[in-house]
Amino acid sequence: MGGRQGGTKKIRAITFTNLKGGTAKTTSALSVAAQLAAWGRAVLLVDLDPQHSLTLSAGLPPSDDVLAVLTGERDPSCSGRPVESFAGAPGRLDIVTSDRSLAEVEGLPAQAVADGLTELLRAAESAFDYVVIDPPPQSSPLVVAAYAVADIRIVPVASGRAALDGLVGIRSMAAALGLPDIDGAFVARVNAQSVHDRALVEHVRGLVPRFDAFVRETVTVREAEMSREPLPLFAPRSTAAEDAAAKGAAALTRELKRLPS
């Protein structure tokens, strides 16, 4: 399955993916996108999940924008909506929103979905530095397409065996389709006092040694989710040692910038 070629400038597409739900995938995608935008970058979020959790987390109403782009019914260059809570910040944060109608593409070949995503990425190249994609948490053409078009593929892993199985499943899927291996994985919602969680962090480090980041569970993470506001905006000064959630988002974003193009 082919990726992108050409374009007016290099844009980095980042996909957060896991074949298991509840791994902080959407929270991580939104937090990293907002952190990049807070550093003055122009970032486009793409909600590729019919459950539209990313759309809701960004504080916007669901819509069929992604579906219309993927089916060629809408100009991809006009599909993004600004995240209002980010207005006035140094960078730019827009989102292509989704709703449950996106499930209609599940019957399409993954290559057709990838072609639609590729057109969206090409349209974004003139205005954005990064595109952050949040696909659904199960095997589907949407997941395959998001993985195939990405430059950087990240797998969040939450505490528990099932989420680790989701990491293994993504790598197996990539190998079976002849796609590149993941670029990184990190453990989210870590209880620093838990022997199990500390062991999980070390295990994931061993599986993906060049990517070393984890995000500890704190009340701040939950409060930001409930407020439907990106974590770097909800807690802009939470860089002290005790606020590990915001530190984790910043550390993860720095790791992303060091990964190869």
Q: What is the mean pLDDT of residues 58-77?
A: 91
The pLDDT of residue 124 is 93
Residues of the chain with pLDDT > 70, as a percent, come to: 72
Taking residue 6's Cβ as centre, other Cβ atoms within 10 Å add up to 6
User: 47, 55 in Cβ contact below 8 A?
Assistant: yes
Higher-scoring residue by pLDDT: 44, 37: 44
What the block records as the tokens of 144 is 């395959």
Average pLDDT over residues 61-69: 95
121 falls in which pLDDT band (50, 70, 90)?
very high
Cα–Cα distance, 119 to 122 (Å, whole number): 5
Q: What is the pLDDT of residue 232?
A: 57
How far apart (Å, rounded) are the C-alpha atoms in residues 224 and 119?
32
171-210 pLDDT tens trace: 999 999 999 999 888 877 766 677 777 777 777 777 776 6
Q: pLDDT value at position 138? A: 83
pLDDT value at residue 240? 29
In this predicted structure, what is the pLDDT of residue 69?
93
Under the banding of pLDDT at 50, 70 and 90, the label for residue 116 is: very high
Say whether pLDDT at 61 is over 70.
Answer: yes
Query: Can you give the pLDDT at residue 239?
Result: 37
**Each residue's pLDDT tens digit, 225-247:** 666 666 555 655 543 233 344 55
Instruction: Read off the pLDDT of residues 132-141 as tens digits, 9 standing for 90 and up.
Output: 999 998 889 9
C-alpha gyration radius of the chain: 17
pLDDT tier for residue 117 given thresholds of 50, 70 and 90:
very high
pTM of the predicted protein model: 0.83
Written in H, E and C, the secondary structure of the chain is: CCCCCCCCCCCEEEEECCCCCCCCHHHHHHHHHHHHHHCCCEEEEEECCCCCHHHHHCCCCCCCHHHHHHCCCCCHHHCCEECHHHCCCCCEEEEECCCHHHHHHHHCCHHHHHHHHHHHHHHHCCCCCEEEEECCCCCCHHHHHHHHHCCEEEEEEECCHHHHHHHHHHHHHHHHHCCCCCCEEEEEEECCCCHHHHHHHHHHHHHCCCCCCEEECCHHHHHHHHHCCCHHHHCCCCCCCCCHHHHHHHHHHHHHHHCCC
